């Protein structure tokens, strides 16, 4: 069982303006991003029992103001959000083919690319954290020097008792090459306590034969706990010295698979924060992702997020 020194959680990454289809050629404007989706669902599920913050950088414009106000109203700690006087938030649009999704992005000048430019801001954001969550997207959008600055801050936070969770979430278009992925991701894994990979990513980058091979590779890198997602297939979880394969319940009425992995991460991490065993944490993650994919967009209406007991 992870030894969390506090329930304070900080997710690190990029939030974007989301245009999500709602049918008949109409789109709904919202805000989303992989680690933001995880932090947001965690805040709703924990219902004030833990402080959940989202460390990012946004602009000083009205759309950024709306994002910060909405996040604060939804219970997130927005004190760890930095403001950029020049750049603003990126934007993406979801395109559906049936229930499967693809994305169109406008993010090259996103303010979030500067989220790790200030070492002092990172140290303040991570102070007292029991859990820090990041992803491969977090790493991919950062300049190399800022990425190293983030790694230094994570190492210091771990030395002070924080646990780090990491979803590799490989998006090849964000990286210069797969060689860069293979160089940078192991640096993150060396600082990771809980890994939450998707098996298709691990096959594409590392050629893993099965989820057990993924777990063996991550364990060799020093990761203490791992839950390997595999679409509608079983979750393979390695925790407390044991490997389990847990079937994923079928879901009816799927509308949009956007955010499935992010919401699984939220349920899993929130349950582990509450000292629930691995099987219950997997079940929480599966429940969250199963509800999310029955709705358009990456996040649920807040009233529909399950509250963890």
Catalytic residues: 262
User: Which region holds residue 168: left if phi is over 0, alpha if psi is between -120 and 50, else beta?
Assistant: alpha
Q: How far apart are CA 151 and CA 153, in angstroms?
A: 5
How do 16-23 and 91-97 pair as beta strands?
parallel
Locate 233 and state its tokens: 């297939």
Neighbours of 303 (CB within 10 A): 6
Residue with tokens 């991701």: 185
Measured in whole angstroms, the distance separating CA 268 from the mean position of its chain's CA atoms is 11
Neighbours of 135 (CB within 10 A): 27
Contact 185, 217 (CB under 8 A): no
């Amino acid at each position: 069982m992870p030894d969390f020194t506090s329930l304070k959680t900080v997710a690190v990454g990029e939030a974007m303006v989301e245009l999500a289809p709602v049918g008949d050629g109409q789109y709904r404007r919202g805000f989303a991003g992989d680690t933001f989706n995880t932090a947001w669902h965690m805040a709703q599920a924990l219902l004030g029992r833990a402080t959940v913050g989202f460390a990012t950088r946004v602009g000083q414009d009205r759309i950024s103001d709306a994002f910060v106000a909405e996040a604060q109203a939804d219970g997130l700690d927005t004190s760890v959000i930095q403001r950029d006087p020049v750049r603003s938030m990126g934007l993406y649009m979801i395109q559906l083919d049936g229930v499967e999704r693809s994305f169109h992005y406008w993010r090259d000048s996103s303010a979030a690319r500067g989220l790790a430019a200030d070492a002092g801001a990172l140290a303040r954001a991570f102070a007292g954290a029991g859990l820090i969550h990041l992803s491969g997207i977090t790493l991919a959008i950062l300049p190399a020097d800022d990425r190293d600055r983030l790694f230094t801050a994570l190492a210091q936070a771990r030395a002070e008792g924080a646990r780090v969770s990491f979803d590799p979430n490989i998006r090849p278009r964000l990286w210069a090459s797969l060689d860069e992925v293979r160089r940078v991701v192991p640096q993150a894994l060396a600082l990771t306590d809980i890994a939450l990979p998707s098996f298709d990513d691990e096959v594409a980058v590392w050629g893993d034969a099965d989820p057990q091979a993924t777990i063996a590779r991550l364990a060799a890198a020093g990761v203490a706990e791992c839950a390997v997602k595999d679409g509608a297939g079983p979750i393979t979880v390695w925790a407390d010295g044991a490997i389990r394969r847990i079937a994923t319940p079928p879901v009816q009425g799927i509308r949009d698979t956007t955010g499935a992995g992010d919401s699984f991460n939220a349920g899993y991490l929130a349950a582990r924060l509450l000292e629930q065993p691995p099987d219950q944490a997997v079940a929480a993650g599966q429940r969250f992702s199963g509800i999310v994919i029955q709705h358009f967009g990456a996040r649920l209406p807040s009233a529909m997020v399950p509250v963890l007991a």
